[in-house]
Structure 1
Amino acid sequence: MESQIEPAPRVWIRPRWAGVVCWVAASTLVAWTGTRVGGLDYGPVVQLIAFTPYVTAGAFAVALAALLLRRRAAGVVALLTGAALVSLVAPRAVPDSDRGDGGGPRIRVLTMNVLAGAADPDAILALIDAQDVDVLALQEHTPTLDAALVAGGIGGQLPYAQTNPEEGTSGSGLYSRHPLSDGGTHRAPSPSPVAPYLGHSASFATVVVPGAQPLLAESVHPMAPWSPWASDEWRTDLTMLTPATPDGPVRMLLGDFNATLDHSPLLGLLETGYRDAAAVDGSGLAGTWGPYAGALIPPVTLDHVLVDHRVRVESVDVFGLQGSDHRAVLAVLTLPPA
């Protein structure tokens, strides 16, 4: 009689490399979370920290992979760091029940980085018209684009202007449907990477809206952290931005901040009394830069409209802008009454 040999039971063999990979990934998440919470965004970390929302999602993928590989401790660490990152990122994707005070007239403000004047002027004018814009802020504004906008009839829609168009990326501008007063231009202290002899300029003015308190508006464009060696200048520009005056004049900063709500200098500016309109609206994760030239860079939120609590945020929308690597941000706001 032939004897039957029972097959040996299958044994789950964990690859030797699994533990190393899982712990490297989990440790990276811990370091990332510590950097974000501790405001340690310096040097090469500045660019990386902009992608925190993507890392947040990736943390749960790491946790799942570690648990499937039976690396439970690493999986739990990844899960906990993911939860911590969610607590930091998720609020900007949830509409705030407190949208601000308001009570006065409503205005529609639009900001856009026009990529050293390369944005299509006809597209800009069409967007102004379609969205019934009251205040327009431009960054990287140039004389050529300014002339094209004037020739295209921007004065008929936004007859008041405080502009400082310059060649390269340092120019700025404000256009308004309502009268402007006390306008001017000041310049960031750091040099521009394109024009080393100039820092980016910021055009500012008081927007006089009938029935509302005067609104001090400023088109801002801090230096980009284009290399690890530029991070100090980037931080200086952000920390030098005009702080909020919640017990004084009503202020609004709008433009390309070259920073997300995960960067400590921008968070410090918010602590002076500003609120990010997109975060209040629940659209704070909408990407406003990249990828528009085939680069393998996921979109990040660099363009913002900041207002204080006396301004009510009604809505925020993002629009593509032909010729620019940024998208335009439109915020509908209700101002405090006069």
Structure 2
Amino acid sequence: MVSGLLIAALVPFAVLTALRLVGYDGNTYTIAALALTPYAGIATLILALLALGLRRWWTAAVALVLTFTIAAMVLPRAFANEQKALGGKHVRVLASNMLGGRADPGKIVGYVKEHQVDVLSLTEMTPEAVEALGRAGLFEILPFHVLHPAEWASGSGLVSRYPLTPLKLSGDSDAKQPSASADLGDGVRIEVVAVHPAAPMWDRHAWVAEAKDLPYADAEHDIRILAGDFNASLDHSLFRELLTRGYVDAADQLGKALTGTWTNGMVPPVPIDHVLADKRTAIADFKVLETPGSDHDAVYAEIVLPS
């Protein structure tokens, strides 16, 4: 009886591990489950210890295999990678999901000041949120912007210390995922996209389509940076495919990719907000910053450009 219950408890974790290994995100439910992969490793370890205590050796062996398999996939994210020694400009990027404009504008502006942010990516930015950010002094610090405010979750924008030229790098989702070229001076330009593909729990097909709208980074273009709420973690094959387009995840580079950013209280925190930098760059700093009023913490990265 007990052995049967333990085996039944392991089945969903075995399915989840198999999906992760083969790189298949599946349906709405498995997409959500994959975001919890690091926690699945903890759960299988607990089940393994329980099985060992009950002397269910084969069940314990299966649970330990699942635990070590998951650990092999997720633990490398806790260790920093050596960064290239580059002598170019430093660009400080902050990305914040405002939860339909509910995030505390003063806190966001405070982070901009504290971290000397050069480019701010805002998602779920409403017209009212733009006004509130203006009252908090954002546009006095970062005077250049490309804004597409909209009700609830569809509004996004870029705000910058440097002059911006609007681009169209994100295909059909351009209004929701705006992009721009920032002129840093001395002939240096970068291209930035405010990222926010649809939440897969509402429309997984739009999630895929809008993520696939995002551009490649390569030597034919200026340095590119993708920043925002990706609604995906490193355990989603869709997100890992984005990295193959010429990007690195700033958090992963500095061993901080297990820190959750979506903190709505219904599930454990999961890291679905990211700053992806062109792989020609180096990452000097990364932080997750608590943002009152939103269910997402902001993410900050300091990116070093090649000289």
Normalising by the residue count of structure 2, what TM-score does the alignment of the two structures yield?
A: 0.93
Name the structure 2 match of 1:168: 152
Q: Percent identity?
A: 36
Query: What CA distance in whole angstroms lies between the structure 2 residues aligned with 1:200 and 1:298?
Result: 31
Name the structure 1 match of 2:30: 45
Name the structure 1 match of 2:184: 209
2:217 to 244, 252, 268: 244
Q: CA deviation at 1:100?
A: 4.0
Alpha-carbon spacing, 1:181–1:200, altered in 2? closer, same or farther (3 Å)? closer
Q: Where in structure 1 are there 5+ consecutive unaligned residues?
A: 1-16, 190-198
Name the structure 1 match of 2:263: 290
- Please say if 1:96 is aligned against 2:66: no
- Please say if 1:223 is aligned against 2:208: no
Query: What CA distance in whole angstroms lies between the structure 1 residues aligned with 2:6 and 2:291?
Result: 41
State the AA in 2 paired with 1:321: T
2:295 to 321, 325, 330: 325
Query: What CA distance in whole angstroms lies between the structure 2 residues aligned with 1:52 and 1:170?
Result: 28
Name the structure 2 match of 1:119: 103
2:94 to 110, 127, 132: 110
Query: What CA distance in whole angstroms lies between the structure 1 residues aligned with 2:58 and 2:187?
Result: 57
State how 1:254-293 maps to structure 2 within 5 Å: 254-291=227-264
- Please say if 1:142 is aligned against 2:112: no
CA contact (8 A) 1:220 1:254 kept: yes
CA contact (8 A) 2:263 2:295 kept: yes
CA contact (8 A) 2:99 2:295 kept: yes
> Where in structure 1 do 4 or more consecutive aligned residues deviate above 4 Å?
184-189
CA contact (8 A) 1:260 1:301 kept: yes
Query: What CA distance in whole angstroms lies between the structure 2 residues aligned with 1:206 and 1:233?
Result: 26
Name the structure 1 match of 2:48: 63
Q: Is the radius of gyration larger for structure 1 or structure 2?
A: 1
Q: CA deviation at 1:115?
A: 0.8
Query: What CA distance in whole angstroms lies between the structure 1 residues aligned with 2:213 and 2:36?
Result: 24
Alpha-carbon spacing, 1:305–1:133, altered in 2? closer, same or farther (3 Å)? same
Query: What CA distance in whole angstroms lies between the structure 2 residues aligned with 1:212 and 1:22?
Result: 63
Alpha-carbon spacing, 1:310–1:31, altered in 2? closer, same or farther (3 Å)? same
- Please say if 1:310 is aligned against 2:280: yes
The number of residue pairs the alignment matches comes to: 306
State how 1:163-202 maps to structure 2 within 5 Å: 163-183=147-167, 188=172, 201-202=176-177
CA contact (8 A) 1:104 1:212 kept: no
State the AA in 2 paired with 1:73: W
Alpha-carbon spacing, 1:234–1:18, altered in 2? closer, same or farther (3 Å)? same
Q: CA deviation at 1:333?
A: 1.1
CA contact (8 A) 1:102 1:310 kept: no
Q: CA deviation at 1:329?
A: 0.5
CA contact (8 A) 1:93 1:279 kept: yes
- Please say if 1:153 is aligned against 2:137: yes
1:182-206 deviations in Å (ceiling 9; x for gaps): 44586755xxxxxxxxx97012111
Q: CA deviation at 1:125?
A: 1.4
The alignment's C-alpha RMSD in Å is 1.9
Q: CA deviation at 1:232?
A: 2.3
1:263-319 deviations in Å (ceiling 9; x for gaps): 11111111112110000011101111123xxx4311111100001221110111111
2:113 to 96, 115, 129: 129
Alpha-carbon spacing, 1:24–1:161, altered in 2? closer, same or farther (3 Å)? same
Q: CA deviation at 1:327?
A: 0.5
Name the structure 2 match of 1:84: 69
Alpha-carbon spacing, 1:211–1:83, altered in 2? closer, same or farther (3 Å)? farther
Query: What CA distance in whole angstroms lies between the structure 2 residues aligned with 1:38 and 1:328?
Result: 31
Query: What CA distance in whole angstroms lies between the structure 1 residues aligned with 2:184 and 2:85?
Result: 17
Q: CA deviation at 1:27?
A: 3.2
Normalising by the residue count of structure 1, what TM-score does the alignment of the two structures yield?
A: 0.85
Give the number of the structure whose residues are more often helix, by fraction: 2
2:7 to 23, 38, 42: 23
